[in-house]
Amino acid sequence: MLKIGMSTPIVEMDGDEMTRVLWKLIKEELIEPFVDLKSEYYDLGLINRNETRDRVTVEAANAARKYGVAVKCATITPNKQRMKEYPQLTEMWKSPNATIRSILDGTVFRTPIMTSFIQPTVRTWESPITIARHAYGDVYKAAELVTDEPGECFLLFKGISGETKQLSVHNAKKGTIWLAQHNTDESIQSFARSCFEYAIALKQDLWFSAKDTISKKYDGRFKDIFDSEFESYKERFDALGIEYFYTLIDDAVARVVRSKGGFIWACKNYDGDVMSDMVSSAFGSLAMMTSVLVSPDGTYEYEAAHGTVTRHYYKYLKGERTSTNPIATIFAWSGALSKRGELDNLPELVDFAGKLEKASLDTLSDGTMTADLAMLAVSDAPIAPRTVDSWEFIGSIADRLK
């Protein structure tokens, strides 16, 4: 069989645990037999991040910047428990996603993949809800401090002009925890712009939520920047009959649950982290959520929204063939291949990416699925679900593709 050619490499970021196992399988079974894959490989697995003192993550992000398209496998963000699990770790390395996001800036858009046999938990949802997560700053770039004696904590800014600004945070009596977070006008502006652009591309309404009633300066700034950026998009929104509005985060949550879906919900970094898990679970499964980081300079990094599926990995290590859902990781690859094809003017590659997605969804519609989806399948589905392991599932998709 003649393989589809590529001209520019995709930046490939390998990862950890069960998703690393699936990653290899997806490449071998679903991509390499059909595409003469050009990729620049970076091993973002925890062991290699530790060995390179996390340099590999920075190099991978820079490569993504250089080539414009990357695909990333889920990775472990070490915590205390992981430090025990991997005694060779010399540091509690930062989340690779946070490192990459801070280098690329930009916005993460997450959209659930809907299928006919899974009904969203929220009965009114008819179309996917895309969550736009701001990808820079706030609690992910915060300075934290623990103190255990009485004393006063200040927020001190020293301008290069020599001007200083100082604010008392709190007068502590006993043990206290402190956190200082920041964001930048520039990052919020590009967040706003990518959201408006993406809303226009999808022809969908854009919602933005924050808590400016409590955080008048910090969240208030987000709201003001969105308002002022919107000025230059308003005409295009009007022409398309779509709308932008701001609302408080708690009001947004209530409205989302009563909505029919089919819009983009722009969230601050932490809200987006939490809400995307809520929305994806309510749409069916975290394993059915696609994710793409779009930077203001037009770099696209595709990944699955879920993590490394640790629980399944430990079963796999014991020799079990787990039924882990590879769909979101497959769609990360198809997204990257399609974007690469679009940028390099390779219609065959774009076409292949579409066929890969269709083969995956057709396999599901035929009733062949992983355990997480079989559990969710509606009782009146036209075909009774047949639960298979990941190997068999990917094999079925490969057969269809062939």
Shortest distance, CB of residue 143 to Mg ion, whole angstroms? Answer: 21
Q: Which stretch binds ligand NAP (CB under 6 A): 71-79, 140-148, 340-348, 352-360?
A: 71-79
Binding mask 250-289 for ligand NAP (x = CB under 6 A): ------------------------------------xx--
List, as one string, the DSSP characters of 334-390.
Answer: HHHHHHHHHHTT-HHHHHHHHHHHHHHHHHHHTTEE-HHHHHH--TT-SS--EE--H
20 near ligand NAP (CB under 6 A): no
Q: What are the structure tokens assigned to 250, written together?
A: 């708690």
Give CA separation, 18 vs 125, 131, 359, in Å: 31, 25, 22
Pick from Mg ion, ligand NAP, none: which does 299 bind, CB < 5 to 8 A by kind?
none
d(CA 174, CA 307): 38
Binding mask 87-126 for ligand NAP (x = CB under 6 A): ----------x-----------------------------
Q: Which helix (H) or strand (E) holds 205?
A: none
Hey, what's the torsion of the CAs at 56, 107, 300, 313, to 10 degrees? 60
List, as one string, the DSSP characters of 71-113.
Answer: EE-------HHHHHHSTT-SS-PPPHHHHHHHHH--EEEEEEP
324 near ligand NAP (CB under 6 A): yes
Shortest distance, CB of residue 60 to ligand NAP, whole angstroms? Answer: 13
Q: What are the structure tokens assigned to 390, written together?
A: 């990941």
Q: Which stretch binds ligand NAP (CB under 6 A): 149-157, 175-183, 237-245, 307-315?
A: 307-315
Hey, what's the torsion of the CAs at 116, 120, 122, 123, to 10 degrees? 20
Q: Which stretch binds ligand NAP (CB under 6 A): 55-63, 196-204, 263-271, 304-312?
A: 304-312
Binding mask 348-387 for ligand NAP (x = CB under 6 A): ------------------------x---------------
Q: What are the structure tokens assigned to 34, written together?
A: 């059909």
Q: Which residues bind Mg ion (CB under 5 A)?
A: 273
Q: Which residues bind ligand NAP (CB under 6 A)?
A: 74-77, 97, 286-287, 303, 306-311, 324-325, 372
